[in-house]
Structure 1
Amino acid sequence: QGAKPGEGGQLPGHKVTALIGKLRHTVPGVTLISPPPHHDIYSIEDLAQLIYDIKQVNPKARVAVKLVSTVGVGTIAAGVAKAYADKIIISGGDGGTGAAPLTSIKFAGNPWEIGLSEAHNALKANNLRKLVEVQTDGGLKTGLDVVKAALLGAESYAFGTGVLTIVGCKMLRICHVNKCSVGIATQNDKLREEFFKGHVDQVVNFFTLLAEDIRSIMAELGFKTMQEMIGRSDILNVIDNDFASKFDFSNILHQEEGVNTHQQKFNFPFDDNAFEKDVLLEAQTAIKHPEHPIRIKREITNINRSFGALVSGEIAQYYGDEGLKPDTIKIDLEGIAGQAFGAFLIHGVSIYLKGVANDYIGKGMHGGKIIITSKNEGESYSAGGNTCLYGATGGKLYISGSVGERFAVRNSGALAITEGTGDNACEYMTGGVVVILGRTGINFGAGMTGGVSFVYDEDHSFVENVNRELVEAIRIDTDEGDEARHFLKRLLKNYLVETGSKKAEELLDNYRVEVRNFWLIRPKNLTKLPLNLENGD
């Protein structure tokens, strides 16, 4: 793909090949506008929640958080360790892609040494260094680089550009045009087959010689193992010349008291998720013998976070992305669900909640169903938090109430129906279908390049909320809207069956009249509407 232009990631349509489209759950040829930030991380608490989500869906995973080398990175690193990451990577400004603008390559970022020293010492000062592994990267090439990194506190070291040159990269800096003359940074099969001459033995040889280089330097310094060397910044000295004497290196060479290496492989969260472990225990029979479906009942509270991720991860271990047959595991819940309810949900799991849920409902969900109903239903009552369906690639989410901001942000395939949303709904959406049976906030459909949305606009105020840069709003009570009308009616009927929504019932009873109040929002360059989901649209 090469570097992406824009503030964080615009992937031009001509680069979205069939393979890339499949990997990103979108249509080939359609421009993808990725959000500059992670929309589920606006604070250190949000980061802690994401790390928790990942550790539930894959308990064997070690979670690494990559931080840029910058002033104040020590404070951030301490926060990341407290958020239960297992590894912190300090990334310098000297490596990076050859496709980035020359101004970025030359002038953006700081050397890794500055950030590494600050992060290492800040972790030690806060008694956190023993909990996390520290890694660094950003232009490491020689044994001397690795030894310096170890002395400043790094336990592992990543290589990019240097290894690319070993397998043939000529640093032409044309990674973004798909014409790499040595067949490395290209999707062109002809260039890859005929011009790529690299071999794994070259990489093995490079790292073998690098290790020999490191060993010879360690022998000079009197160290037997890498472990002894980590964090020993006291044996680093500033070279004696006029240029070096202009700078104060005391902060970089400062050595805080304390442990220099991580003492445990995993930085376990304080919350052991006993609630869902108990549910998983009950669901194990259905996972191992899917021909025997199961129904589970529980009461849930808002301290039960990421519910559904642990069960989904277990199913994925056995059956991969395919999961189980629909409704193999039905879970009936009552109460107020915590953050990331139904995160990473997989095919075969159906969660029915009588109550409400917090932020990030259905984050990254791949299949299954999340049905949220409440005795206080309708547009006037909030039933879900912000940033629901972030990065979802499949499944159904029905909420018989309103939700917060950024509903279905970066949705790539989920079907969702709700009765009202806040600002920025359907932002950066690349696939799936969203139906909103009530008012929306401003900036609807910003960056939306795939999928479709239906919005019920009884008071005719919706059009002013649409961001029209990439999408258009059209009526469906026309001859051309015949297919869309029938599709919407099918969705509403299914929504009514699952939720018993009074709003859906009213709309269906007066569908011929009410259909005039619906808008269909679609990307301007979408040639075929995805209205036949069962046929693979």
Structure 2
Amino acid sequence: NLKQGYLPIPMPLVVSAVHHALVKNKLRSAVSLICLSGDVVEDHHVAVLIGLGASAVYPFMAYELIREHFHDDKDWPNKMANYRYGLEKGILKIMSKMGISTISSYHGGMLFHTLGLDKDLIRKYFPSFRSELGGIGLNHIKQNLMQQHSAAFLESSPSFSEKGYFRFRKNGESHGYSPLEFKKIQAAAHQKERKNIKAEVPVYLRDLFQVKGKLEPIDVKQTESLKKILKRFGSGAISFGAISENVHRELARGMALVGARSNTGEGGEMDDRYSRSNPDKDVNSYIKQVASGRFGVSVDYLAASREIQIKMAQGAKPGEGGQLPGHKVTAQIAHARSSTLGVPLISPPPHHDIYSIEDIKQLIHDLKEVNPRALISVKLVAQPGVGTVACGVVKAGADIILISGGDGGTGASPLGSLKHTGFPWELGLAETHQALVANQLRDRVTLRVDGGLKKARDIIIAATLGAEEYDFGTAALIALGCIMARQCHLNTCPAGIATQDVKYMKKFKGNAGNIKLYFENIAEDVRYELAKLGFNTIQSLVGRSDLLSIHKDFKSYVKKRGLDFSVIFNPDSKKGLPIPSTNKVRFQGRLQDQSLDEEIITEVRNAIMAHGHAVVSKLVNNTQRSIGTRLSGEIAFLYGKGNFQGSIQVQMSGTAGQSFGAYLSEGVELRLMGTANDYVGKGQSGGLITIRMPRLIRRKKKEHTMIGNVALYGATGGTLFVAGRGGERFAVRNSGASAVIEGIGNHGCEYMTRGTVVVLGEIGHNFGAGMTGGSAFIYTKKLSIKSRLNTEFVKESNLTSSDENLLKRLLNTHIFHTGSTIASQIISNWKKEKYHFKCIVSLAQDIVDFKNIYDLHVADRLGVVLNE
């Protein structure tokens, strides 16, 4: 019923205004707001309206278009149902990114940030929001609506051309990576030229800025050397899995050629790349990333790193874990990630050992124990409030903070996330630098930035806002030949980069030389920019946001749109950094907290160096954290995977602190008579952990809670025997460890991909959520487990003869190491008791063709392509 004389009001304005008016008059709980809208198309639109207060949304125009398009199809009602189902799934995904599980909690929650809206408009219609930069008001919105409205009533039939909202179109919306930008980046990667990439139209916030230099420029020869500038560069965290193994290696080689940092991404890397026997050290990635899925993270992986990066989130898709489709999980990737070939992999959105700043401090402590030679960086997302978080992370002991902007071009991000989540790094970086300076912490940490960096001017702007180091992701792949076809998830990358299909991988034409040439050209451009501004070094620009102002070409553009950059331009920053970035003051956490492992290493050093055997006895208390971690890291560093032929046994009594046996390596045994806190066996890569009570206590009371939450998180090997109960999230993301325990809390075996878990007692709810591999055996004599299983992912079955043999062997070993009375009673009456066990396996294994997997492994071993 739309008429030419009436202009529709944007529905978010209406919903928010009505919602807040009802709240103000204490009437909101008395009514429901039903939103009938013709401009709702995608899940983001529905999520915004519900978040602003709409109780229900009816997208009548979308339904009408579906009915009209499929009017000859009798099945058109199902088409509508499919559309509705897609919207609902999208809303659930958005809620999950926010950590919200019910629509009632999301409804009216106002969990949004704004960019580019006028402060008066925000104050009047969206009073729960903050306006970071100011922007357009009602008059500007009205003008845009009138233009669209007039176009809808043209006498000629309107032509609906794609506006380039999601993908570049010639006459559509401007994109950061247009064909022209591609040509310039690839030209810099293939020829020795020094042509800076300039923005024709403003796309990023930084395109609106200019840097005020000194009165007189200097000769480029007076600026710092290419080598010093290149040391500040790094490649983005692009995982092996997202891109092919040969591309991942070439990227690492290219970064090594210029003395810059390469990054594994969250998928780990093939262990031959960091093996002690590999003479090609350039393929060993400089930075090893630790993400929420802990894919590929082992003690050997961490020991071979020069920097370890904790990925809290990704700028392009905050709140989401990484996703790798099943058709990209090849034999190599399944090996590197300790998963099953052909089964999709999804990282959990949160780190299950990080729920507070104190937990980050514990993880940083663990990683510094396993590799004290490596710096620890923490990747944070640019968003309002990131400065406060960054201050806490610095106090937790991080050496480097990476602020990740929302402009990255990750191939693993849904289009909705790319468009509607993440903040410009300009805002996050400025806030972080200013917060650290205000709290007198800036001299303790190095600031790094990523998210859409591709040219020298980006480096200069980032430096003035506080960044000292700079990471390039998409631009580095473009230099190698990426054409941004947006087919990363389909495994059909025409450039042979984001694919695991051998047919497409052969199309890859890039090499490490392209990376070398590209970064050298960027560094040379930085020198010319510095010379033009009259500065000798990047360091002299760091934190000098007082030099920034609105670019002369865009002053009218900024004024017309009411933008205010006062939160970014800091006139009081003339001093830059408190001290040079090369002279950071580090928190000396390890010196203040000398670990028990240091004592153990001193006592058993001869046995370590001679592949000998040693037994050590110690009393422990709950202030002694990460016991066994330093010892394991040292063995892994000295010998690499599987090369230590001796054994070190540590016998302990007492209560162990957090992360007991974290990242344990082969050849190390920890035997504890007592209890342990959270994170037992986190990242365990081998070895043996046994935990039990003294015999007299075991006989008097059979059930004890022996360990805390999140045991075996991300474990890839080794064995754990606990003669008692554990806490919640036992064996979360287990990727290869075997364990026997006598009861656990909720969320057991969550996201498990490999390994074997035996539970001789009660299990909590939601067992096996996200589980895609491995197996669990549950003793069901005293409880029914059907209601405790997450049946979307797992099923129960009776034991096979091979299951019986495996289970009996594990129980006998459990008795040998812990003297378990429960296991002893089961074994003594095995013929009857075995029928009380249920085997829990992943539903994903029903769709896996293990015969084909076997053939693929054989083909890979022989170096041939199957069916070629």
Q: TM-score, normalised by structure 1?
A: 0.93
- Which amino acid in 2 is paired with 1:523? S
| Alpha carbons 2:548, 2:569 under 8 Å: kept | yes
- From 825, 832, 848, the equivalent of 1:513 is 832
Which is worse superposed, 281-290 or 150-159?
Answer: 281-290
Residue aligned with 2:845, SS: coil
- From 624, 643, 646, the equivalent of 1:304 is 624
| CA shift for structure 1 position 267 | 4.4
- From 280, 286, 289, the equivalent of 2:601 is 280
Corresponding residue for residue 330 of structure 2: 17
| Alpha carbons 2:749, 2:767 under 8 Å: kept | yes
Corresponding residue for residue 352 of structure 1: 671
Superposition CA RMSD, Å: 2.3
| CA shift for structure 1 position 485 | 1.7
Label 1:20 to 1:266 Cα distance change in 2 as closer, same or farther (>3 A). farther
- For residues 190-269 of structure 1, what are the structure 2 equivalents within 5 Å? 190-193=503-506, 195-240=507-552, 241-245=555-559, 246-254=562-570, 255=572, 259=578, 261-262=580-581, 263-264=583-584, 267-269=587-589
| Alpha carbons 1:372, 1:399 under 8 Å: kept | yes
Q: Name the % identity.
A: 47
| Alpha carbons 2:796, 2:840 under 8 Å: kept | yes
Quote the Cα distance in structure 2 between the aligned partners of 1:274 and 1:525: 42
- Which amino acid in 1 is paired with 2:548? L
Quote the Cα distance in structure 1 between the aligned partners of 2:379 and 2:828: 54
Corresponding residue for residue 108 of structure 1: 421
Corresponding residue for residue 68 of structure 2: none
- Which amino acid in 2 is paired with 1:2? A
- From 353, 364, 373, the equivalent of 1:40 is 353
| Alpha carbons 2:324, 2:489 under 8 Å: kept | no
Corresponding residue for residue 441 of structure 1: 764
| Alpha carbons 2:762, 2:783 under 8 Å: kept | no
Label 1:483 to 1:162 Cα distance change in 2 as closer, same or farther (>3 A). closer
Label 1:34 to 1:418 Cα distance change in 2 as closer, same or farther (>3 A). same
Structure 2 gap ranges (5+): 1-240, 244-266, 268-316, 851-856, 858-868
Quote the Cα distance in structure 2 between the aligned partners of 1:508 and 1:199: 60
Quote the Cα distance in structure 1 between the aligned partners of 2:504 and 2:409: 23
Q: C-alpha offsets along residues 466-503 of structure 1, whole Å, 9 cap, x if unaligned?
A: 11112111233xxxx22212221111111101001111
Corresponding residue for residue 289 of structure 1: 610
| CA shift for structure 1 position 43 | 1.0
Quote the Cα distance in structure 2 between the aligned partners of 1:44 and 1:529: 44
Quote the Cα distance in structure 2 between the aligned partners of 1:155 and 1:202: 24
Structure number with greater Rg is 2
Quote the Cα distance in structure 2 between the aligned partners of 1:373 and 1:334: 10
Corresponding residue for residue 126 of structure 1: 439
Quote the Cα distance in structure 1 between the aligned partners of 2:356 and 2:477: 35
Label 1:32 to 1:159 Cα distance change in 2 as closer, same or farther (>3 A). closer
- For residues 77-476 of structure 1, what are the structure 2 equivalents within 5 Å? 77-193=390-506, 195-240=507-552, 241-245=555-559, 246-254=562-570, 255=572, 259=578, 261-262=580-581, 263-264=583-584, 267-269=587-589, 271-290=592-611, 292-325=612-645, 328-375=647-694, 376-377=697-698, 380-476=703-799
Label 1:259 to 1:379 Cα distance change in 2 as closer, same or farther (>3 A). farther
| Alpha carbons 1:323, 1:346 under 8 Å: kept | no
Quote the Cα distance in structure 2 between the aligned partners of 1:157 and 1:491: 50
Quote the Cα distance in structure 2 between the aligned partners of 1:203 and 1:30: 33
| CA shift for structure 1 position 19 | 0.5
| CA shift for structure 1 position 9 | 3.8
| CA shift for structure 1 position 177 | 1.5
| Alpha carbons 1:129, 1:261 under 8 Å: kept | no
- Which amino acid in 2 is paired with 1:104? S
Q: TM-score, normalised by structure 2?
A: 0.58
| CA shift for structure 1 position 85 | 0.7
How many residues of Structure 1 are paired with residues of Structure 2 in the alignment? Answer: 524
| CA shift for structure 1 position 180 | 1.4
Q: C-alpha offsets along residues 117-161 of structure 1, whole Å, 9 cap, x if unaligned?
A: 100111111111111100001111121110010011000111111
Structure 1 gap ranges (5+): 531-535
1:503 paired to 2:822 = yes
Q: C-alpha offsets along residues 507-527 of structure 1, whole Å, 9 cap, x if unaligned?
A: 111222222221111112436
Quote the Cα distance in structure 2 between the aligned partners of 1:428 and 1:54: 22
Label 1:439 to 1:474 Cα distance change in 2 as closer, same or farther (>3 A). same
Quote the Cα distance in structure 1 between the aligned partners of 2:402 and 2:323: 25
| CA shift for structure 1 position 162 | 1.7
1:59 paired to 2:372 = yes
| Alpha carbons 1:452, 1:529 under 8 Å: kept | no
| CA shift for structure 1 position 167 | 2.1
| CA shift for structure 1 position 10 | 4.3
| CA shift for structure 1 position 459 | 2.2
| CA shift for structure 1 position 7 | 4.9
Q: C-alpha offsets along residues 340-363 of structure 1, whole Å, 9 cap, x if unaligned?
A: 000000111011001100000000
Residue aligned with 1:242, SS: helix
- From 813, 816, 821, the equivalent of 1:494 is 813
| Alpha carbons 1:451, 1:529 under 8 Å: kept | no
| CA shift for structure 1 position 212 | 2.4
Quote the Cα distance in structure 2 between the aligned partners of 1:227 and 1:235: 14
Quote the Cα distance in structure 1 between the aligned partners of 2:436 and 2:633: 32
Higher percent of residues as helix? 2
Q: C-alpha offsets along residues 189-248 of structure 1, whole Å, 9 cap, x if unaligned?
A: 34333x222233332222222222222222232211111111111111123523323122
Quote the Cα distance in structure 2 between the aligned partners of 1:48 and 1:147: 32
- Which amino acid in 2 is paired with 1:27? T
| CA shift for structure 1 position 309 | 0.9
Quote the Cα distance in structure 2 between the aligned partners of 1:162 and 1:482: 55
